[in-house]
C-alpha cells in the first residue's frame, strides 16, 4: 500500500490552509490600518507596526528623472510628528482611503511577507480655506497610488516593518500634514 499518496495531500492542505490563514491576517491588517488612518487613530495604527517600522511617501518625477521622497519617518519620528501636529494649523477635512489588496507573498520560512495594495484617497471638504459656506461637504479626489508593505510574522501575527506609499498623483495642490 502506498501511504505516501494518502498522507501527502493532507499535509499539503494543512500547510496551504496555514499559508492562507497568514495571508488573510495580512489582508486584515492592511484593511485595519486603512480604517485607523481614516479615523485618525494614529496610536492604533502604529500599534500594528513593529519597533523598526519605516514609513515613506514616494513618487517618481519624470520632470527631474528622480525618485522623490516626500516623507521618510521611523516609528519614533511618526510618534513625535503626531505629538506636534496639533500645534500646527492644518486642513481638518477628513480623508477616506479605499484600499484594495492585490498581492500577498509570504516567505518560504513564514517569517516575513510582502504585500501590494492599490489605494484611492478622497478629501471631504470641511475647512480647506475655500468658502466653507459653499464647499463644505463636497468630496474631491486627492491621491491615487499603491502601498508596498513589508511584514514580520511572529507567532502567526503580522506586523508592519515598512510601508512605502507610492503616489501616481504628482500634482499635490495644498497637500496635507498626515500619513496617507
Partner 1 sequence: MAARNHKQWNATPSLTTEEWVDSRIYSDQKIFDEELEKIFKKTWVPVCHESELPEAYDFRTTSIAKEPIIVARGPDNVVRAFLNVCPHRGNLLERRPAGSFLEGQPSGNPKRITCLFHAWQFDMKGNCVYISREKEGYQDRLCKEDTGLRRLRCEVKFGGFVWVNLDDNPIPLEDWAGPAFECIRETLDAEPLEVFHYHKSIINTNYKLWHDTNSEFYHDFMHYHNRVTGFNDAYFARKNEAFEHGHVNVGSFEVNYENYEGFDSRAELSFPHLPPNQWYMIDLFPGMNINLRGSALRTDVVTPLAPNKVMIEFRGLGLKSDTPEERLTRIKHHNSIWGPFGRNLHEDFLGVEGQSTAMQPGSEPRRILHGRQENQTIHDENGMRHYYEEWGRWMDRSPVDPDQPYTPRATAAAE
Closer Cβ to partner 1, 3 or 62, answer by number: 62
CA torsion 55-175-121-151 (nearest 10°) is 0
Q: Is 12 in the site for partner 1 (CB under 8 A)?
A: no
Q: How far is the CB of 92 from partner 1 (least distance, A)?
A: 10
Quick note: the x/- pattern for partner 1 over 65-94, rule CB under 8 A, is: xx-xxxxx----x--xx-xx--xxxxx---
Q: How far is the CB of 62 from partner 1 (least distance, A)?
A: 6
Q: How far is the CB of 101 from partner 1 (least distance, A)?
A: 24
Q: In sequence order, what E strands does 107-138 have?
A: 112-124
Q: How far is the CB of 57 from partner 1 (least distance, A)?
A: 6
Closer Cβ to partner 1, 61 or 157, answer by number: 61
CA atoms of 118 and 55, how far apart (whole Å): 16
CB 98, CB 124: distance < 8 Å: no
Q: Is 61 in the site for partner 1 (CB under 8 A)?
A: yes
Instruction: Tell me how far apart the terminal alpha carbons of the chain are, to the nearest angstrom.
Output: 59
Closer Cβ to partner 1, 74 or 157, answer by number: 74
Q: Is 95 in the site for partner 1 (CB under 8 A)?
A: no
Closer Cβ to partner 1, 63 or 109, answer by number: 63
Helix (H) or strand (E) segment spanning residue 83:
helix 75-84
Q: Is 62 in the site for partner 1 (CB under 8 A)?
A: yes
Closest CA to 178 of 60, 76, 88, 61: 88
Three-class DSSP category at 91: coil
Contacts of 150 (CB under 8 A, 6+ apart): 112, 113, 114, 160, 161, 162, 163
Q: Interface with partner 1 by CB under 8 A: which range of 1-9, 22-30, 38-46, 60-68?
A: 60-68
Q: For binding to partner 1 (CB under 8 A), which residues are involved?
A: 57, 59, 61-66, 68-72, 77, 80-81, 83-84, 87-91, 128-131, 170-179
Amino acid at each position: 500500500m502506498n501511504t505516501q499518496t494518502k498522507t501527502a495531500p493532507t499535509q499539503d492542505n494543512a500547510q496551504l490552509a496555514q499559508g492562507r490563514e497568514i495571508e488573510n491576517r495580512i489582508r486584515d491588517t492592511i484593511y485595519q490600518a486603512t480604517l485607523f488612518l481614516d479615523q485618525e487613530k494614529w496610536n492604533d495604527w502604529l500599534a500594528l507596526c513593529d519597533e523598526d517600522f519605516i514609513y515613506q511617501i514616494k513618487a517618481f518625477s519624470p520632470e527631474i528623472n528622480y525618485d522623490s521622497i516626500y516623507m521618510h519617518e521611523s516609528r519614533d519620528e511618526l510618534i513625535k510628528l503626531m505629538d506636534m501636529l496639533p500645534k500646527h494649523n492644518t486642513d481638518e477635512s477628513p480623508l477616506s482611503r479605499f484600499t484594495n489588496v492585490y498581492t500577498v507573498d509570504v516567505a518560504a520560512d513564514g517569517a516575513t511577507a510582502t504585500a501590494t495594495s492599490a489605494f484611492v484617497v478622497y478629501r471631504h471638504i470641511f475647512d480647506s480655506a475655500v468658502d466653507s459656506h459653499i464647499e463644505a461637504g463636497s468630496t474631491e479626489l486627492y491621491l491615487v497610488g499603491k502601498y508596498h508593505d513589508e511584514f514580520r510574522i511572529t507567532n502567526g501575527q503580522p506586523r508592519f516593518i515598512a510601508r512605502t506609499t507610492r503616489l501616481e498623483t504628482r500634482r499635490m495642490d495644498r497637500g496635507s500634514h498626515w500619513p496617507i
